[in-house]
Amino acid sequence: MDESVFDSEEDRRAILNAYRGLLYASKEIRDKEDTKQIRKAFNVAVEAHKDMRRKSGEPYILHPIAVARICAEEMGLGTTSIVAALLHDTVEDTYISLQDVEDLFGRKVRSIIDGLTKIPEVFDDNISLQAENFRKLILTISDDLRVAFIKIADRLHNMRTIGGMRPDKRLKICSETEFLYAPLAHRLGFNAIKIEFEDIIFMYKEPEIYKQIELKLEKSKEIRNRFIRQFTNPIKKSLEENQFDFKVKARTKSIPSIFKKIQNKNVTFDEIYDIFAIRIIVDTPLELEKSTCWRVYSIVTDFYQPNPDRLRDWVTMPKSNGYESLHTTVMSPSGKWVEVQIRTKRMDEIAEKGYAAHWKYKENATSDNKFDRWIGEVRALLENPESNAEEFINDFKLNLFSDEIYIFTPNGDLRVLPKKATTLDFAFDIHTDIGLSCIGAKVNGKLLPLSHQLKSGDQVEIITSKKQRPKEDWLKFVVTARARAKIKSSLNEEVKMVASDGKEIIQRRFKQMNLNFSSENISILEKFYHMPSTTELYYQVAKGKIDLKEIRALKIESKNLVLDKKKEVVNPKEENTLANIISCVDSKKDTIVIGDSFKEFDYKLANCCSPIPGDDVFGFITASDGIKIHRTNCPNATQLLSQYAYRVLKATWKSKHLQEREAQLVINGLDDLGIVNNITSIISKEHNINMKSISFESDDGVFEGKITLFVYDTEHLDKLILKFEQIDGVKSVERI
């Protein structure tokens, strides 16, 4: 390695230490030849990136070394992946070409690097560049999974070092990760990485809530550890007596999952019983795994009473991402429920490192088959060349489901589907032709419609008819990507067939009017009838929705139509169209100051999240309604920021000339005498807050109140929420 590439002794030490760390992390998987390849890739990458630095100021080469180390240490990948990770940014960012990579490291590494290289940044109003990049990533999944593995490792290191970025850039990266990379990591079985993604996202999207829960976890740590020791001691003693080779770990649940439980179950932090889980990992031969897990279960339940409703057997029936484990929830002597996870060493490695680890255990074909089937579904999605990138990504995300149900055919064959799957999803899962001709199903012997949602354990027999044709309404209730793709493809074919009739009708009309049947004349008709495409024009004509007699209103010159510009319908909001706004603004530099004019473009506060001064916000350029201001924690923010990053603008509130904005609160608590009076009394004493509406419902001693208020900013609202929370009987106060 040429040491002249280092700018300083400090850089040299940092890079060499990082490289030694990589070698240490990969020591179990490499021989002498592997070490030579890794060293060669390191030297090439150091030379290529020598003049580059990250935004934090550190040498850029530290990033690919860190990505390679994640591949080795946290994913258990081999030399080819480590080499590709070291070189993953060279083709895109330096003078190194794909041919150079192939000449030095072979075709396989070239193929992986090609899959990791982003598409050129060509701007197009109708597609999201990020969606196209996602699409390219997904295209490579069916060719070589290592592309997806390295991409996840790359994103993980970027997320770990996200603190040095601008807040708006940080928000976009978090949203992209939440939208695709976290579900993808889950689907590929990287449980630890998925949890870390979610933790970092939550830390930056909800910093105050994150700090509150983190502080409570820290305060209760000693009590928790003491409880865990007391709970696990008798289990450990019994396992030792029975000569098990085992480890017992206690895993505290992630902050986002704790917050979800607080929200979903409407409880406080102190009321959550499963803040941690006990994990028992046994080392046993493959053929004894199932019986060993159940023997351990028997020992645990000898000491503690299990909850039969909380038993999850993923040893007999692994999840489709390869996850295998036996989960039970038992009652401790102190009256607290405790989750216990029982698994083998092999299962634990697969749970943490996913399919990368699974390749080491090829004897177990169950999960391989399930994964091959998922890859087959991805390929089926790719077969539809007409779907645009955004549509493709949304359909693909449906295949990244976490909750699954198990359905049986009349012959007893098992099929795995996502939760909320319908009888129509099941029909398409069996075969495309069965789905397209499905008219209903017998579920457990009872005749039910196509939209019926199935439950685990259902036995389903599909009923078909040759006369059946797919309907657009079907897209409203199917949940699997396979079903959606096949329905859309079939509907598109039907539209094309009908459109061909419309084309013939226009040809005949043009002949009668002595007009040329040319692309120019058809283009004028599209504008005249305000049609988005030629196919849509033909389709509407065939369906009789367009009156071709109106063509006579157009001028005709030399067998060609002439569009009178004065008669064109002008959109009064034309200045606020997507293309016009994007062409006039710089999304990286421009900031909307809410309260001031912004380059003569309209902007409004979005109704979906009703931002008020003090909220963290961003601007989003809509397709036809100008710019909308959204809260960064808006329910729609993740999709907008990840799929349409090029349409996002920075936004901030103007500090003076505050204006009242609407906010809604939901209050839950015990229905105590005078509690409503206490709430309204607090509002009436607040000078800066006006009430618009209030409603309370009481049921079996518990009440829920909804209050709509006008407030100036989040500071006043937070103070009000704090006062509500201090009222006796109030359990929770949340802003909608």
With bands split at pLDDT 50, 70 and 90, how would you rate the model's confidence at 187? confident
Q: Are strands 661-670 and 730-735 parallel, antiparallel or unpaired?
A: antiparallel
Q: Can you tell me the mean pLDDT for 158-162?
A: 91
Cβ neighbours of 258 (radius 10 Å): 21
Return d(Cα 400, Cα 381) in angstroms, integer. Answer: 13
Architecture of the structural domain at 661-735: 2-Layer Sandwich (3.30)
Measure Cα distances from 353 to 80, 86, 155, 180, 479 in Å. 17, 20, 16, 18, 28
pLDDT in tens, 530-554: 777 788 888 888 877 777 777 777 7
Topology annotation, domain 212-361: Beta Polymerase; domain 2 (3.30.460)
Q: What is the pLDDT of residue 383?
A: 55
Q: What is the pLDDT of residue 272?
A: 72
- Fold agreement between 3-211 and 661-735: no
Q: What is the pLDDT of residue 423?
A: 93
Q: Can you tell me the mean pLDDT for 357-383?
A: 55
Q: What is the pLDDT of residue 694?
A: 81
pTM of the model: 0.68
Which stretches of 419-505 are assigned E, i.e. beta strand? 438-443, 446-448, 460-464
Q: Can you tell me the mean pLDDT for 657-673?
A: 73
Query: Dihedrals φ, ψ of 326, to 5°?
Result: -115, 115
Percent of the chain with pLDDT over 90: 18
**Which amino acid, residue 107?**
R
Scored b (16 or more CB within 10 A) or e, 620-640 reads bbbeeebbbbbbbebeebbbb
With bands split at pLDDT 50, 70 and 90, how would you rate the model's confidence at 205? confident
pLDDT in tens, 117-150: 764 444 344 445 555 666 666 666 656 778 888 8
Q: Can you tell me the mean pLDDT for 715-732?
A: 78
pLDDT surpassing 90 at residue 426: yes
pLDDT surpassing 50 at residue 724: yes
Return d(Cα 649, Cα 653) in angstroms, integer. Answer: 13
Q: Where are the domains of the chain?
A: 3-211, 212-361, 489-567, 574-653, 661-735
Q: What is the pLDDT of residue 573?
A: 43
Cβ neighbours of 724 (radius 10 Å): 20
pLDDT surpassing 80 at residue 317: yes
Q: What is the pLDDT of residue 373?
A: 60
C-beta separation of 540 from 531 below 8 A: yes
pLDDT in tens, 3-24: 555 567 888 888 899 989 999 9
Q: Classify domain 3-211 by CATH number.
A: 1.10.3210.10
The two tokens of residue 409 are 């055919």
Where in the sequence numbering do the catalytic residues fall? 92-93
pLDDT surpassing 90 at residue 325: yes
pLDDT surpassing 70 at residue 644: yes
Q: What is the pLDDT of residue 201?
A: 93
Selected residue with higher pLDDT from 565 and 413: 413
Percent of the chain with pLDDT over 70: 83
Of 395, 434, 436, 273, nearest to 339 by C-alpha is 273
Q: Which residues pair with 627 in a beta bridge?
A: 603, 621
Return d(Cα 613, Cα 130) in angstroms, integer. Answer: 30
pLDDT in tens, 553-587: 777 777 777 766 544 444 444 455 666 777 777 77
Q: Can you tell me the mean pLDDT for 312-333?
A: 87
pLDDT surpassing 50 at residue 478: yes
428-442, 575-589, 600-614, 663-677: range with lowest mean pLDDT: 575-589
Return d(Cα 67, Cα 116) in angstroms, integer. Answer: 13
Q: What is the pLDDT of residue 397?
A: 59
Mind spelling out the 3-state secondary structure of 312-344? Answer: EECCCCCCCCCCCCEEEEEECCCCCEEEEEEEE
Mean pLDDT of the chain: 80
pLDDT surpassing 70 at residue 693: yes
pLDDT surpassing 60 at residue 182: yes
Q: What is the pLDDT of residue 367?
A: 45
Return d(Cα 407, Cα 421) in angstroms, integer. Answer: 10
Q: What is the pLDDT of residue 323?
A: 84
With bands split at pLDDT 50, 70 and 90, how would you rate the model's confidence at 497? confident
pLDDT in tens, 381-411: 555 555 555 566 666 655 554 567 878 888 8
Instruction: Give 347's Cβ-side CA count (13 Å radius).
Output: 29
Report the SS3 class of residue 605: strand
Close Cβ partners of 401 (under 8 Å, ≥ 6 residues apart): 418, 419
Cβ neighbours of 530 (radius 10 Å): 10
Selected residue with higher pLDDT from 665 and 702: 665
pLDDT surpassing 70 at residue 507: yes
C-beta separation of 667 from 735 below 8 A: no
pLDDT in tens, 259-292: 888 877 777 776 676 788 999 999 999 899 999 9
Q: What is the pLDDT of residue 714?
A: 74
Q: What is the pLDDT of residue 3?
A: 55
pLDDT surpassing 80 at residue 362: no
pLDDT in tens, 74-112: 888 888 999 999 998 888 888 888 898 889 999 989 888
Instruction: Provide the sign of the torsion angle of the four alpha carbons 516, 520, 524, 529, taken in this order.
Output: positive
C-beta separation of 575 from 618 below 8 A: no
pLDDT surpassing 50 at residue 631: yes
